[in-house]
């Protein structure tokens, strides 16, 4: 019967949608198609105006500029997708402020399969909690860059004491810093146990795609 066929089809569609296999409806993709259509129309009108105003030269120049803009847009989009996937170049890391570094670390942790919770609002300082499928836990803190300059190493373990305490219950405490740690910092962290220091060199390797396991951070 037509009614039963319709109900069967509706149930099948509902099941596919629940499983995420049915795909988007027209109302979901229509705004995107309209936006693309308007953009194409605007480009056509721009080229027509350039042709009328400057002739063939204007048309050629306009086409070259549009092609260059399209290439730049594709490169920009790829860079955005790459960063969202947890990969950063050295220049991009250097431009990050303290809060952006927390975002980057969150993306890199998730890239490596860690579940991440941002505890910054609760702790008052940039702080992340991460857990992987093996049940390992990380308490990730961030040491701010010295106001004296990024190439200088902050001496003294005092900022580390604020960032991490000795590891308990299998929790590894990680301190991330875009520059280098002093020898005093390294000795202090070693004596504490359960504290790992991630300096600028290791941070760049991490951003390039190396996992924390490859860097020996979870321990």
Q: In tens digits, what is the pLDDT along the chain, a chain of 219 residues?
A: 445 666 666 666 565 555 445 555 566 556 766 777 777 777 778 778 877 887 777 777 777 877 777 777 777 788 888 888 889 999 999 998 888 999 999 999 999 999 999 988 776 788 999 999 988 999 999 988 654 444 444 444 444 555 545 445 668 899 999 888 888 888 888 888 788 999 999 999 999 999 999 998 876
pLDDT of residue 70: 73
Question: What's the per-residue H, E or C state across the chain?
Answer: CHHHHHHHHHHHHHHHHHCCCCCCCHHHHHHHHHHHHHHHHHHHHHHHHHHHHHHHHHHHHHHHHHHHHHHHHHHHHHHHHHHHCCCCCHHHHHHCCHHHHHHHHHHHHHHCCCEEEECHHHHCCCEEEEECCCCCEEEEEECCCCCCCCCCCECCCHHHHHHCCCCCCCEEEEEECCCCECHHHHHHHHHHCCEEEECHHHHHHHHHCCCCCCCCCCC
pLDDT of residue 48: 82
pTM: 0.64
pLDDT of residue 60: 79
pLDDT of residue 150: 46
């Amino acid at each position: 019967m037509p009614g039963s066929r319709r109900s069967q089809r509706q149930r099948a569609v509902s099941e596919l949608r629940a499983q995420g296999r049915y795909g988007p409806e027209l109302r979901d993709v229509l705004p995107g198609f309209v936006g693309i259509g308007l953009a194409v129309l605007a480009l056509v009108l721009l080229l027509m105006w350039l042709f009328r105003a400057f002739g063939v030269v204007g048309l050629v120049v306009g086409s070259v500029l549009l092609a260059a803009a399209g290439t730049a847009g594709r490169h920009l989009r790829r860079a955005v997708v790459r960063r969202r996937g947890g990969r950063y170049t050295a220049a991009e890391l250097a431009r990050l402020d303290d809060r952006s570094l927390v975002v980057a670390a969150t993306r890199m942790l998730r890239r490596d399969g860690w579940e991440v919770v941002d505890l910054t609002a609760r702790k008052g300082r940039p702080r992340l909690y991460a857990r992987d499928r093996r049940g390992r836990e990380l308490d990730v803190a961030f040491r701010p860059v010295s106001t004296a300059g990024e190439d200088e190493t902050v001496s003294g373990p005092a900022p580390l004491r604020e960032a991490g305490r000795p590891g308990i219950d299998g929790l590894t405490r990680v301190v991330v810093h875009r520059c280098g740690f002093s020898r005093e910092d390294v000795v202090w962290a070693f004596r504490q146990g359960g504290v790992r220091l991630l300096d600028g060199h290791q941070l760049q390797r991490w951003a390039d795609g190396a996992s924390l396991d490859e860097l020996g951070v979870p321990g």
